[in-house]
Amino acid sequence: MDAITSKMSQGSCSEVALFPEVSAQCPACRLHALVSIQLVQTDGGNWIQIEHAATDDPLTLDTCPICFGAWFDRGELAAIGDIEVDQQTAPPSSKEVSFRTCPRGHGLMQSLQMPGVLRTPIERCRTCEGVWLDGHERRKLALASTREGQGPRSRQLARRGVIWALQLVTQLPVEVENPERGTPWIVYCLVGLLLAGFLLSVAGVFLYRNWALIGGRFAINPVHTVHTFVTYQFFHANWLHLLGNAYFLYLFGDNIEYLFGRLRFVLLFVGAGLVGGLLHVALSSATATPVIGASGAIAGVMAAYLWSFPNVRLFQVIPFTPIQVKIPAWVYLIVWVVFQAIMAVFSTALSFAWYSHLGGFAFGLLLTPWVLRWRRRQVARAVEVPAHTGTSMLGV
Applying CB under 5 A, among 94, 120, 127, 183 the residue interacting with Zn ion is 127
Q: What is the DSSP string of 92-116?
A: GGG-EEEEEEPTTS--EEEEE--TT
Q: State in angstroms the smallest separation of the CB of 232 from Zn ion.
A: 37
> How big is the site for Zn ion, counted in residues (CB under 5 A)?
12
Q: State in angstroms the smallest separation of the CB of 334 from Zn ion.
A: 22
Q: State in angstroms the smallest separation of the CB of 70 from Zn ion.
A: 9
Nearer to Zn ion, 66 or 294 (CB): 66
The Cα–Cα gap between 231 and 213 comes to 8
Applying CB under 5 A, among 102, 187, 251, 306 the residue interacting with Zn ion is 102
The Cα–Cα gap between 167 and 177 comes to 16
Applying CB under 5 A, among 8, 11, 12, 29 the residue interacting with Zn ion is 29
Residue 181 near Zn ion by CB under 5 A: no
Binding residues for Zn ion restricted to 322-341, rule: CB under 5 A: none
Region class of 163: left (phi > 0), else alpha (psi between -120 and 50), else beta:
alpha
Residue 142 near Zn ion by CB under 5 A: no
State the number of CA atoms in the 13 A half-sphere of 323 facing the CB. Answer: 6
3-class state of residue 63 by DSSP: strand
Applying CB under 5 A, among 8, 15, 70, 104 the residue interacting with Zn ion is 104
Nearer to Zn ion, 79 or 125 (CB): 125
- Contact region for Zn ion (CB under 5 A) — 22-30, 89-97, 136-144, 228-236? 22-30
The Cα–Cα gap between 240 and 85 comes to 52
Residue 26 near Zn ion by CB under 5 A: yes
Residue 90 burial by Cβ neighbours in a 10 Å radius (0-12, 13-18, 19+): buried
Compute the Cα dihedral for 97, 101, 105, 107 and give only its sign. Answer: positive
The Cα–Cα gap between 319 and 337 comes to 17
| Interaction pattern, residues 43-72, with Zn ion; x per rule: CB under 5 A | ---------------------x-xx-----
- Contact region for Zn ion (CB under 5 A) — 24-32, 92-100, 201-209, 231-239? 24-32
Nearer to Zn ion, 128 or 200 (CB): 128
- Ranges of H-type helices in 212-294: 215-220, 222-225, 228-231, 239-260, 262-283
Q: State in angstroms the smallest separation of the CB of 204 from Zn ion.
A: 50
Strands (E), the chain: 22-25, 33-41, 47-50, 59-63, 70-72, 96-101, 108-112, 122-124, 131-133, 174-175, 313-317, 324-328
Applying CB under 5 A, among 8, 24, 28, 292 the residue interacting with Zn ion is 28
Nearer to Zn ion, 104 or 236 (CB): 104
- Contact region for Zn ion (CB under 5 A) — 35-43, 96-104, 226-234, 338-346? 96-104
Nearer to Zn ion, 28 or 365 (CB): 28
Q: Which residues bind Zn ion (CB under 5 A)?
A: 26, 28-29, 64, 66-67, 102, 104, 106, 125, 127-128
